């Protein structure tokens, strides 16, 4: 077996190339993280714009304050509301869907801690269990639709007296 001699210069060049490759990998990972953060920022900005539009329509609504003071919105039977109350009730739930979609997309991007997701998941399930609120889930982003389809189908359509 023939022994190959490697000079000191060759070792230095090899270590230098490994350092350059390691640096490139690090830069690539940093760029990927920066892109994820930029996409998340754009997503947040879009959802915030929609939420601001919804909230602007609800400003100074006495009905909204009364609805919120009486009970949680999930417990309100929409059939008991007059036309103005129902319109505001719908706006509030549309705003909730905007918020849920934003949080869901952040979850998909890996930007939401598990404990926060569990809290949001509970809220989604609570709203999905109410038959009267299911219509607000129509038109949500496809990935959220897929998640919703994994939830139990049964729902509560009657409210306690």
- pLDDT bin (cut points 50, 70, 90) of residue 52 is confident
> Using one digit for the tens of pLDDT, what is the confidence trace for 59-114?
666 666 666 665 566 677 788 888 888 888 888 888 888 889 988 988 888 878 88
Share of the chain above pLDDT 90, in %: 16
- Specify whether the CB–CB gap between 74 and 130 falls below 8 A: yes
What average pLDDT does this structure show over 23-28?
82
Tokens of 75: 């417990």
Q: DSSP 3-state helix, strand, coil percentages of the chain (rounded to 5)? A: 75, 0, 25
Q: Residue 86: which residues within 8 A CB-CB, separation 6 or more?
A: 78
Q: Which residue shows structure tokens 């129902």?
A: 86
Is the overall model pTM greater than 0.85, yes or no?
Answer: no
pLDDT band at residue 160, thresholds of 50, 70 and 90? low
User: Taking the domains of the chain in order of start, what are their residue ranges?
Assistant: 40-149
């Amino acid at each position: 077996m023939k022994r190959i001699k490697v000079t000191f210069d060759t070792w230095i060049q090899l270590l230098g190339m490994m350092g350059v490759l390691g640096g490139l990998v690090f830069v690539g990972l940093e760029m990927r993280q920066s892109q994820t953060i930029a996409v998340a920022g754009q997503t947040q900005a879009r959802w915030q714009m929609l939420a601001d539009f919804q909230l602007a329509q609800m400003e100074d609504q006495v009905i909204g304050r009364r609805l919120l003071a009486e009970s949680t919105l999930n417990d309100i039977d929409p059939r008991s509301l007059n036309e103005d109350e129902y319109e505001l009730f719908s706006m509030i739930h549309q705003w909730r869907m905007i918020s849920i979609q934003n949080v869901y997309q952040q979850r998909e991007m890996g930007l939401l801690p598990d404990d926060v997701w569990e809290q949001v998941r509970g809220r989604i399930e609570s709203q999905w269990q109410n038959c009267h609120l299911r219509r607000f889930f129509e038109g949500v982003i496809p990935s959220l639709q897929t998640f919703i389809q994994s939830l139990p189908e049964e729902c509560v359509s009657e409210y306690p007296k």
